Structure 1
Amino acid sequence: MALFGKNHNKKSIPDHKTTIITEGCHFKGELQLICELFIDGTLHGVIVSDHEITVGKNGHILGDIQATRVVIHGHVEGNIDADEIYVQSDGYLLGTVIANTLVVDPSAVFDGESHIKNSKVQQ
């Protein structure tokens, strides 16, 4: 019989999963993800995810990103297609973005073009 009626043999599974590329790691190629990504290392290539991508303060991406939400604390050079993009105070973004929401902290750097995703021209 289990203690207090709980089954302690069940494994705890997190509600979400995150792929992590840590500082000092270098990745070159294309990532297609069905989970969140946290990158504090270096990535040269393309990222495609239907979840959130977070670039840590030591993270550096040279390539394009397609995701639902992108949060940048580090350095990104490339184009981003996302529903929401947040460039935080320590973030740097160089490229063209397509998003419904683009928030750039006053002390962040954004050098590029922005376009509204799913824009509807009212007639």
Structure 2
Amino acid sequence: MRLHPCIANDILRINEVCGVRDMGLFNSKSHPNHSLSIIARNCKVVGDIELEGDIQIDGFGEGNITQANAVVISASGHFRGTIHAKHITVNGLVEGQCDADAIDILSQGKMKGVLNTEQLTIEKGGLLAGENRATLSTDTVVPLADQTRVEAKQNKDKKPTPPSSKQS
């Protein structure tokens, strides 16, 4: 079986995302904790999908995808709805909301909607038409109050300068 070059590239990409080192997509030894589901080209799925593994959309999907490990929208893929996953790769079209630890928009990818992620990558040619509501860890936030106290202390330690005397 020969794969279209775009689909072959997307399969390589999902292998990379999922940590699979060979083309054994359906070999349980290659990645025993995650199975791969594929919505094939010219296939339309409408409804909610809940899975613990990985999914690749080469056709059309509409609804909600939840609890996924990795979601890949291939160059021929189109998804409309909400995606909750650990990692999302967009090389086709996504319309809706994406919530993930990491989101990659590849060179042919188009995302229309809202992203919620800590890590966003957009390759040259990729498009985000919407907004990214970055979800930052509170560990990386530096309180401004500490800086304000330092500046106040520095101003307090300065010796006052005598007022200038004006001659009339």
TM range (shorter): 0.7 to 0.9
Q: Which of 99, 102, 108 is matched with 2:120 structurally?
A: 102
TM-score, normalized by length of structure 1? 0.86
The structure richer in strand per residue is 1
Task: Measure the CA separation in 1 of the matches of 2:54 and 2:136.
Answer: 23
Q: Which moved more, 1:29-38 or 1:44-53?
A: 44-53
1:15-30 map, 5 Å: 15=32, 16-30=34-48
Q: Which moved more, 1:13-22 or 1:85-94?
A: 13-22
The structure richer in helix per residue is 2
Aligned to 1:64: 82
Cα distance, 1:106 vs structure 2: 2.0
Cα distance, 1:122 vs structure 2: 1.8
Matched to 1:122, the amino acid is V
Aligned to 1:13: 28
Cα distance, 1:118 vs structure 2: 3.9
Q: Deviations over 1:19-47 (max 9, x none)?
A: 11000110001000111001101001111
Aligned to 2:67: 49
Higher relative contact order (CA 8 A, sep 6+): 1
Matched to 2:142, the amino acid is Q
Q: Which moved more, 1:14-23 or 1:35-44?
A: 14-23
Matched to 1:43, the amino acid is G
Is the 1:51–1:69 contact (alpha carbons within 8 Å) kept by the matching residues of 2?
yes
Is the 2:77–2:93 contact (alpha carbons within 8 Å) kept by the matching residues of 1?
yes
Q: Which runs of 5+ in 2 are unaligned?
A: 1-26, 144-168
* CA RMSD, Structure 1 to Structure 2 (Å): 1.3
Q: Percent identity among equivalent residues?
A: 29
Cα distance, 1:117 vs structure 2: 1.7
